[in-house]
């Protein structure tokens, strides 16, 4: 899973559409140049609207340096402004003559149209939508909200190189309390229209917010890493100022948010699906479209998921039999591997360190194999580390966070219970989050200067997560499991898990399964461990449709690849296909399919 923070709208109204196509055309610009200038204007306005994204994109410098002192506006008023901005952006796109665009510019236009249409829909609904166009009906949950996303951003990723950066950091600490307050107001607003999280979500969320509130300020993820960097840079001592902000502003704001969530408890129940919410079926259909970027109904997705689960299970059965494991069902045999002493580490810090070391070694191994499938070998630095203990109870098993010019990408493992990461599964997780998955994808995008700013900041779960799941297949094709049969079983089980996610997500939100049904189905049909599965299903409850994006996206990439292979015949080179997919930048799967068909046809005509 890739960790990308909030995306509340493309920009403020008035700032977004200040350069309309008619004005640009009057200046004699071509259709391509008109679109390029328009999307650049939209993108810069969005980054000014989102100081957090501006920092992540290294935009908060020079005349935009003031953004470094601020956080995103999470208020109801800001959301209304964002909706107006998207309507203006769509009007701008309507002024572009698509027929006059070059193939590459048409791709940019198609991506922009999809983003704006999707945001226009999702911003008109309750809840939240992030930078991968992942909607959540709940502004604050065990996996969402300022309390969840911002501590690491403020404490570890806020730039600290000058005295001005230190002051900006202190301002962001204060702004954090404001962000918490704004979201608390939205919790109350949404509750008033019937949007109440499930009771099991409330329990996890309140516990995590208490953990952030009650930690000593000198140990807080908001404060401790930043103070360490300030001392290292010899930029003075602001400890007391930071502690005072934490005590006088942040802790009270967190207490008020806890109270706002506790007030929902009498109205909450254990129904996990969004079907129970206002216009819930339509909300889920919109969430599925936004996450998968294809027009496949929830009912059809459920059928596809079941079909793929059956096929993958049969393949795993053959591999298990080759290892002499023949007794019991496939899932019983897979489950037995989870408790096999050969594949377990100790449930302590020594076990945690072993897992981190194994993952680091697996990254080194795959790097040496990359020329077999990729042309580009420029890979930015990456580190493997533990997810912060303050949030790991509600966090996924692992996720990837992008780095920056002087900061490595981070592959984070949930090591609350090291035993969850049995070593036969770990290589595939590493290939998904690291190389050739999320980190390799991010590295190539970072080294694609010709890609317009707009295309570098928009994101799609089906593309990013679909690529990472597809990358697991590429690692297998490169031979990484040639001498590791249990690692290959882990790769297939990961695929089974992603297909099962489609079944469970659509089961919860379309077929109205209970949480207990969903957990039991995943354990019994995908060989997952009960504790991890309970956490996963709780995640599906707050991010409806997102779990479908992995396998749907990977399926779409494989289908596009095989279409290109069929069109080009013996001339097909998978490295060229990978260049196209990665350097073209994030895009919906429908746009990717059209781009690959165009590329394949042009290559075949040569």
On whether both 83 and 216 belong to a single domain, the answer is: no
Residue 575 lies in a domain: no
Q: Which residues contact 4 (CB under 8 A, 6 or more apart)?
A: 130, 131, 132, 402, 459
Residue 587 lies in a domain: no
On whether both 154 and 107 belong to a single domain, the answer is: no
Q: Which residues contact 77 (CB under 8 A, 6 or more apart)?
A: none
On whether both 348 and 300 belong to a single domain, the answer is: yes
On whether both 194 and 313 belong to a single domain, the answer is: no
On whether both 550 and 473 belong to a single domain, the answer is: yes
On whether both 207 and 148 belong to a single domain, the answer is: yes
Residue 423 lies in a domain: yes
Is residue 320 scored above 90 in pLDDT? yes
Residue 581 lies in a domain: no
Number of domains in the chain: 3
Give kind and range of the element (H or E) at residue 391. none
Residue 337 has a pLDDT of: 92
Which of 249, 276, 303 terminates a domain? The answer is 276
CA 390, CA 409: separation in Å to the nearest integer?
A: 21
On whether both 264 and 295 belong to a single domain, the answer is: no
Residue 577 lies in a domain: no
On whether both 112 and 151 belong to a single domain, the answer is: no
Which of 230, 258, 276 terminates a domain? The answer is 276
Residue 207 lies in a domain: yes
On whether both 328 and 246 belong to a single domain, the answer is: no
State which residues form the domain around 157.
Answer: 140-276
Residue 101 lies in a domain: yes
Residue 539 has a pLDDT of: 94
Closest CA to 35 of 101, 86, 82: 101
Is residue 11 scored above 50 in pLDDT? no
Which of 60, 90, 124 terminates a domain? The answer is 124
On whether both 215 and 172 belong to a single domain, the answer is: yes
Residue 27 has a pLDDT of: 55
The pLDDT tens digits of the residues spanning 262-314 come to: 999 999 999 999 999 999 999 999 999 999 999 999 999 999 999 999 999 99
The pTM assigned to this predicted structure is 0.85
On whether both 441 and 531 belong to a single domain, the answer is: yes
Residue 7 has a pLDDT of: 31
Angle at 123 between CA 53 and CA 289, to 5 degrees: 95
Residue 75 has a pLDDT of: 96
Residue 572 lies in a domain: no
On whether both 348 and 441 belong to a single domain, the answer is: yes
Closest CA to 412 of 398, 428, 433: 398
Residue 527 has a pLDDT of: 81
């Amino acid at each position: 899973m890739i960790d990308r923070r909030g995306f509340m709208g493309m920009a403020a109204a008035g700032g977004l559409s200040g350069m309309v196509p008619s004005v640009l055309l009057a200046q004699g610009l071509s259709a391509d140049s008109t679109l390029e200038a328009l999307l650049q204007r939209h993108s810069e306005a969005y980054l000014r609207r989102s100081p957090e994204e501006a920092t992540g994109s290294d935009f908060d410098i020079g005349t935009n340096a003031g953004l470094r002192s601020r956080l995103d506006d999470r208020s109801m008023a800001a959301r209304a402004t964002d909706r107006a901005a998207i309507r203006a952006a769509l009007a701008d796109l309507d002024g572009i003559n698509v027929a006059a665009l070059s193939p590459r510019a048409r791709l940019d236009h198609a991506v922009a149209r999809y983003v704006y249409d999707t945001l226009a829909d999702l911003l008109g609904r309750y809840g939240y939508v992030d930078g991968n166009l992942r909607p959540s009906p709940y502004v604050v949950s065990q996996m969402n909200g300022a309390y969840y996303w911002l501590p690491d951003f403020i404490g570890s990723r806020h730039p600290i190189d000058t005295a001005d950066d230190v002051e900006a950091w202190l301002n962001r600490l204060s702004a954090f309390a404001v962000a918490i307050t704004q979201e608390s107001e939205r919790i109350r607003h949404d509750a008033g229209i019937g949007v109440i999280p499930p009771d099991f979500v409330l329990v996890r969320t309140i516990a995590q917010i208490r953990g952030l509130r009650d930690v000593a300020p000198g140990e807080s993820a908001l404060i401790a890493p930043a103070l360490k960097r300030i001392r290292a840079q010899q930029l003075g001592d602001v400890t007391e100022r930071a502690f005072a902000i934490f005590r006088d502003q942040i802790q009270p704001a967190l207490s008020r948010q806890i109270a706002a969530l506790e007030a929902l408890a009498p109205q909450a129940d254990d129904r996990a699906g969004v079907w129970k919410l206002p216009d819930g079926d339509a909300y889920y259909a919109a969430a599925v479209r936004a996450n998968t970027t294809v027009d496949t109904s929830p009912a059809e997705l459920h059928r596809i998921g079941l079909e793929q689960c059956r096929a993958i299970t049969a393949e795993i059965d053959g591999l298990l039999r080759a290892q002499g494991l023949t007794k019991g069902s496939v899932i019983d045999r897979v489950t037995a591997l989870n408790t096999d002493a050969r594949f377990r580490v100790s449930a302590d810090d020594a076990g945690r360190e072993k897992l981190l070391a194994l993952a680091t070694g697996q990254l080194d191994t795959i790097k040496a194999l990359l020329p077999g499938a990729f042309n580009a070998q420029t890979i930015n630095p990456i580190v493997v580390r533990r997810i912060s203990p303050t949030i790991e109870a509600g966090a996924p098993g692992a996720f990837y966070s992008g780095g920056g010019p002087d900061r490595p990408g981070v592959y984070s493992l949930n090591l609350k219970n090291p035993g969850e990461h049995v070593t036969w599964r770990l290589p595939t997780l590493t290939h998904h989050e690291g190389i050739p998955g999320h980190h390799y994808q991010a590295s190539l995008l970072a080294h694609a200067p010709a890609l317009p700013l707009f295309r570098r900041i928009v994101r799609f779960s089906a593309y990013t997560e679909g690529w990472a799941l597809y990358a697991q297949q590429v690692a297998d094709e490169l031979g990484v499991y040639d001498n590791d049969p249990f690692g290959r079983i882990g790769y297939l089980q990961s695929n089974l898990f992603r297909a099962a996610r489609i079944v469970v997500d659509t089961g919860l939100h379309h077929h109205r399964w209970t949480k207990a049904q969903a957990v039991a189905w995943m354990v019994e049909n995908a060989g997952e461990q009960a504790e991890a599965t309970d956490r996963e299903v709780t995640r599906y409850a707050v991010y409806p449709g997102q779990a479908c994006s992995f396998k749907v996206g990977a399926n779409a990439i494989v289908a596009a690849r095989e279409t290109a292979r069929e069109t080009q015949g013996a001339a097909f080179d998978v490295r060229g296909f990978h260049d196209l997919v990665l350097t073209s930048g994030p895009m919906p799967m429908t746009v990717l399919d059209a781009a690959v068909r165009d590329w394949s046809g042009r290559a075949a005509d040569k």
